[in-house]
Structures are given as structure tokens and as C-alpha cells.
Structure 1
Amino acid sequence: MASRISLKAKGKSSKGSKAQEDRSVSESLKEWTTWTMRKAKVITHYGFIPLVIIIGMNSDPKPALSQLFSPV
């Protein structure tokens, strides 16, 4: 069996360049959205409990830290 060689033009071509730009914009938007959602997931995962503690410490009755951690 002979191997096939694919011939693809490198660089920008005049035909279909608008379609390639649209595709590249949509791909970059998808990659950026995926990257943003991954970072938001990590920030939410590690930042939620410290946020609750900070809000609890700044509440009106001013509880002690041990009172914030106790379930009762």
C-alpha cells in the first residue's frame, strides 16, 4: 500500500479566507470560554469556604472563629 500525501496550502489564501477567519474566531472564543470556565470552577471551589468565613466574621453579632466552625 502506498501512503497518501495530503497537499494543503500553507498561509492565507484568497479563497475562503473569510470562512477561515470566522472559524478561527469561533474556535478562539470557544477556547477562551473553556479556559474561563475552568478558572472560575477552581476559584469557586477554593474560595467558597473562606468567603463564608469572612462574611460570618463581619456579621453584626461578631462571632468567634470557633463558633463559625461549630455545627451548633
Structure 2
Amino acid sequence: MASRVSLKAAKGKVVKKSAPADEEEGSVAAAAKFVKEWSNWAIGKAKVITHYGFIPMIIIIGMNSEPKPSLSQLLSPV
């Protein structure tokens, strides 16, 4: 019998590395990735700050306005 050639792929993960064509392109891609990660982090923190800080901010602004209402007047629905 003739021997058969196996065309199955290896059982490990195949990592395909693509080297940038130019040194500057690699640094631009790294900078873009850094800016994207930083902006996602900043937007996430801003959402949390806005979520927990909005009502206290309204109360503080209301208590510093003229005429000065009491806290119970600020919190009552009437």
C-alpha cells in the first residue's frame, strides 16, 4: 500500500504574527490602542460618577440658592 499524506492541522493554536511594514506604523497603532483603552476607561468612570453624583449635586445647588430652602423642602415632592 502507498503511504497517505495527512493534511490535518496541528492541534495547537496557530498564532499569526503580522509585523508592521514601517516602525512608525507600529507606534501609531500602539498609540491608537492606548488612546482607545484610555477613553473607554475614562467614559466608564464618568458614567459611574454621573450616576452616583447627579442627585447630590442637585441638592447641593438647591441648598446654596436664594431663598435658602431646608433639606426637607428640597426632598419633598410638593
Shorter-chain-normalised TM-score: which range?
A: 0.7 to 0.9
Q: Which residue of 2 aligns with 1:39?
A: 45
Normalising by structure 1, we get a TM-score of 0.80
Paired residues in the alignment total 69
Counterpart of 1:49 in structure 2 is 55
Instruction: Report the CA distance between 1:2 and its aligned residue.
Output: 3.6
Deviations 1:16-71 (A, max 9, x none): 22111000000100111111111111101100000000001111111111110111
Cα RMSD for the two superposed structures: 2.3
Higher gyration radius (CA):
2
Rounded to whole Å, the distance in 1 between the matches of 2:66 and 2:16 is 71
Structure 2 counterpart of 1:62, from 60, 68, 71? 68
**Structure 2 unpaired stretches of 5+:** 1-7
Percent identical pairs in the alignment equals 51
For 1:63, the aligned partner's letter is P
Residue segments in structure 1 that go unaligned for 5+ positions in a row? none
